[in-house]
Structure 1
């Protein structure tokens, strides 16, 4: 069927309800079809009078309900897209937001072609993402448990005499501590047990994550990304799981924009005004890149662990990784010498690192990448 004769449906999806609106071809305002409970069978009954599945184009905003509804609708033959909420156009002065208004607005914007759909992962890709996020949650829980233990020690004016905490030496030092009050001793022991449980949980999830990528369609991309400084296997899995098919971006600047690492801008005429980064897109991947950017404060080198990760990889991938080290360490040093704040330095380096991530991923996917010139 011709695109100009499709019926465009906007859904406002919640855990318990779905508001439905449709916009017919032309310029007439969208019409509300009603609000139903979150039930696919009832939704299909509402959609059937609009025409065959091939004649209906459905959109709804990304949210906590995941991709289940989209997959069910696609399985029934409907064209269904999930829209990035941050990229939905907003009218100036529009201060009223309801479920019915939202679905009407989505239907009209879909008809006008003003919406940007997100990338939908396959169930296998989503499973890797869920495992990666579970490990991230476990790391955050471990950090909280460690802070609670350190806070308890600080309240009792106990300070670790060594330099680095959370090592084996630190654990042996904790075992030497004792408190006179039984309540304090029990509390201290519980804090220690909580940290140990969190450590074990992180280790289990890390091992499961490394095992889960065996045979994954992006396994070669993950192994190639490990050649970049600051990106180990866990970080590489997290990046690929969050971004998905990195090679779908036809230019590295699009990946930088997708990750929200580009500066905002409000320019008019000859006046150019740039502000903070947009922070749009995937926050998990953006955090992984900014953390990796810290490693470029050191001079460029290929250590023992990096050599082992690069052993079975092609020369072209290793050349891109070495070029990244030379460029980003120099970039880090120059920005720091100019007096730029350390957070801005890391963001700037992370933005360029995203370009090298794109190059390595495309190279691993056998997509043509401009050859890297020899380092001088």
Structure 2
């Protein structure tokens, strides 16, 4: 992975064709330039079909033959998911790909004509000029294993979102029909609570069954059941303020919600099993699970976002990709706060942050480093700053494990921390 703009500029040589493509849902627009920014052909409009891709290939081939170009680099904005198939096609043809930041396109669009106009002819040129000037990043399309893992993580995230939405709807149903239910059960998703909702969804159903009837159903579904809790449920039902009108349709609605929840929970369980199988096929990835606080799901999320670790020369590149690199807002004598820039892969940034919170509770080494950051005499950090700093430390640990194949050494972490404290 090339890091500096100079290195990227040096890749654009006299024999390089620079193509900028404005990606759309049904149609794409392309313009071609040399390394000096001189346009070499007319605008090409091609469809998002096999025939359109063939037209693009022929257009690029003719330009390269006429202008003596031996290689091509194609730049585009990451417009949603519409570039995926085009990117796969161009990569399969052996062309290099470059992604430009949409914010950069917006900022530089007015350089040519001093106009905020946005159209399908103007944007491809803006994209190509950014590529020519080295203001792009290489496109990483994961190999089969990492692509599978990323798809599995994305699917789990989708299912998790559906489960949260269904849970919220069930809470709403209870607030309207049986608000006292949560005084008996802390969580509606527990086995006893779910058995109750499936068999006695309304206060009227609970009162009709009585404590003995409720207990009998619980004993069929559960190994342990409590008569006292059944009596508490009956008393709560007797004093319920829940709405009673339309109960028959409301019971049907709750049954549908519970059935959907069970179905999606099963789908999530199966996709998590697939995630685990894929994770363990990544070289050295199983060693991450030996770090206290890192579970299978969080490890899969982090590795799916990083991809092949060998494409990075330094862990700081991963921090930048996650949007965890620092930005400063200073001018003259004013010194603003230093914060993270949050420009990068959101899922990777969130995955690192979410894994750090439980680690601070159960991982002694990281908890000790957290306390050191909060209490050091020189430039102490607040809690959030310390968490972000420890995310950077975790990235360096992950990088070392995945690249070198070494085991996580808690004692070495502690000794490193003691040496840094003595040096301070």
Q: Which residue of the other structure, out of 165, 168, 181, is the alignment partner of 1:159?
A: 181
Moved >6 Å (runs of 4+) = none
1:327/1:191 Cα in 2 relative to 1: closer, same or farther (>3 Å)? same
**Structure 2: gaps of 5 or more residues:** 1-10, 205-246, 419-424
Normalising to structure 1: TM-score of the pair? 0.79
Of residues 201, 207, 222 in structure 1, which corresponds to 2:267?
Answer: 201
Separation in structure 2 between the aligned mates of residue 343 and residue 152 of structure 1, nearest angstrom? 37
Give 2:25's aligned residue. Answer: 15
Question: Please, which of 249, 261, 278 is the counterpart of residue 212 of structure 1?
Answer: 278
CA distance in 1, matches of 2:357, 2:19: 46
1:157-208 per-residue CA deviation (whole Å, 9 max, x = no partner) reads 2332244552334334434533252122112211211211121111111112
Give the Cα separation in 2 of the matches to 1:297 and 1:182.
48
8 Å contact kept, 1:297–1:329 = no
SS in 2 for 1:20: strand
User: Matched residue of 1:224: which SS?
Assistant: helix
Match in the other structure for 1:308: none
* C-alpha distance in 1 between matches for 2:363 and 2:277: 31
Aligned match of 1:315: none
1:284 Cα deviation from its structure 2 partner: 1.2
Q: Distance in 2 between matches of 1:209 and 1:54?
A: 41
| TM-superposition CA deviations, 1:313-346 (whole Å, max 9, x none) | xxxxxxxxxx445424654788xxx894x66664
Per mean C-alpha deviation after superposition, the further-off stretch among 8-17 and 82-91 is 82-91
Indicate if the aligned counterparts of 2:146 and 2:308 stay in contact, CA closer than 8 A: no
Secondary structure at 2:137's aligned position in 1? coil
Structure 2 matches for 1:106-185, cutoff 5 A? 106-156=127-177, 157-160=179-182, 161-175=184-198, 177-179=200-202, 180=204, 181-185=247-251
**C-alpha distance 339-47 of structure 1, shift in aligned 2 (>3 A):** closer
The residue number in structure 1 matching 2:303 is 240
Match for residue 53 of structure 2?
Answer: 40
- Counterpart residue number, 1:60: 76
| Aligned-partner SS, 1:59 | strand
C-alpha displacement of 1:149: 0.5
- C-alpha distance 346-191 of structure 1, shift in aligned 2 (>3 A): farther
Q: Where in structure 1 are there 5+ consecutive unaligned residues?
A: 302-322
CA distance, structure 2, for counterparts of residue 269 and residue 10 of structure 1? 39
SS in structure 1 opposite 2:323?
coil
Once the two structures are TM-superposed, the CA of residue 130 in structure 1 deviates from its matched residue by 0.7
Q: What CA deviation, in whole Å up to 9, does each residue of 1:93-145 have, x standing for no partner? A: 66332232211012222222222223221133212211111011111111111
Deviation of residue 18 (structure 1)?
1.3
Aligned-pair CA distance for 1:277: 2.7
**Equivalent residues of 1:87, 1:116 under 8 A apart:** no
Moved more, 126-135 or 347-356: 347-356
Which moved further from structure 2: 283-292 or 257-266? 257-266
Provide closer, same or farther for how the CA distance between residues 187 and 372 of structure 1 changes in structure 2, counting only shifts above 3 A: closer
SS of 1:14's partner is coil
Kindly provide the CA deviation profile for residues 40-88 of structure 1, in whole angstroms up to 9, marking residues without a partner as x: 11111221221157333222222313543233223334x2214042574
Equivalenced residues, count: 343
The answer to whether the 8 A contact 1:331-1:349 is kept is: no
The corresponding residue for 1:278 is 341
Which sits farther off after the overlay, 47-56 or 133-142? 47-56
Structure 2 residue matching 1:237: 3-state secondary structure: helix
Q: Is the 8 A contact 1:82 1:118 kept in 2?
A: yes
Query: Which is worse superposed, 139-148 or 45-54?
Result: 45-54
2:350 to 287, 292, 295: 287
1:327: which partner in 2? 369
Q: Does 1:360 align with 2:401?
A: yes
Distance (whole Å) between structure 2 residues aligned to residue 237 and residue 2 of structure 1: 36
- Contact persistence 2:73–2:98 (CA under 8 A): no
Q: 2:327 aligned to 264, 270, 279, which one?
A: 264
User: Aligned with 2:415: secondary structure?
Assistant: coil
2:121 equivalent to 1:100: yes
